[in-house]
Amino acid sequence: MPAPLLLWLSPAFPVGGFAFSHGLEWAAERGWIKDRETLAAWLTDLVAHGALGNDQILLSAAWRAAMQRDSAAMREAAALALALQPSAERHLEAVTQGGAFLAQIEAAWPCRAMPWFRSVHDGEVAYCTAVGVAAAGHGIALEAVLLPYGLAVIGNLVSASVRLGVVGQTDGQRILAGLVAEVERVARRSLGATLDDLGGACWRSDLASLQHETQYTRLFRS
């Protein structure tokens, strides 16, 4: 993996991912996820049919647009990455991490793609878009980005589940080990995907993110 990605996608990179659970906190309270088996099934569906698959496609579209300096394609990809968030909290999750990621890249890892992107897209930026632009700006191949990005996102959700008490550390690692092949499959699929391939069917995950907005006692922002 290219050295910058080891740092950018590390939990230590200051994007604030630790503050978000992608609706898992509500799912845990309702008992939809309660152990290793139910959490593994939930995350597998997210990878195969939910937000992660879409994010990989949107990241790919942003990467290609930045590589080609295609302003229209970048505007479309960046706008869709925002519009497809199914709830206010999922929107917050995407743009908080995206904005923090871009700020760190601009401050510590500058590249020509950043000012170009700012001139093309004015406003909030989803995390997947930000990663795609930064990777293109530093000449990192798309196939080198997608798998680490996917594993980083899933790793953050497993970490949130451990903090929620759904599973312990060891079961969390077992789940991650079992998901690698599926994340790899989705990453390969996303290499040749276009915006026409966007779509998802993880309704309970989306509903959980909506219900979390009014959850009385909570640890996470989403």
pTM of the model: 0.97
Mean pLDDT of the chain: 96
CA–CA gap between residue 138 and residue 52 (Å, rounded): 23
Instruction: Give per-residue pLDDT as tens, 112-154.
Output: 999 999 999 999 999 999 999 999 999 999 999 999 999 999 9
Instruction: Give per-residue pLDDT as tens, 67-118.
Output: 999 999 999 999 999 999 999 999 999 999 999 999 999 999 999 999 999 9
Q: What's at 182, amino acid-wise?
A: E
Instruction: Note the CATH number of domain 35-210.
Output: 1.10.4190.10
Instruction: Give per-residue pLDDT as tens, 41-64.
Output: 999 999 999 999 999 999 999 999
**In the 8-state DSSP scheme, what is residue 22?**
T
CA–CA gap between residue 123 and residue 106 (Å, rounded): 16
CB 50 within 8 A of CB 200: yes
CA–CA gap between residue 166 and residue 181 (Å, rounded): 23
Of the candidates 127, 146, 136, 130, the residue with the CA atom closest to the CA atom of residue 191: 146
Domain boundaries, the chain: 35-210
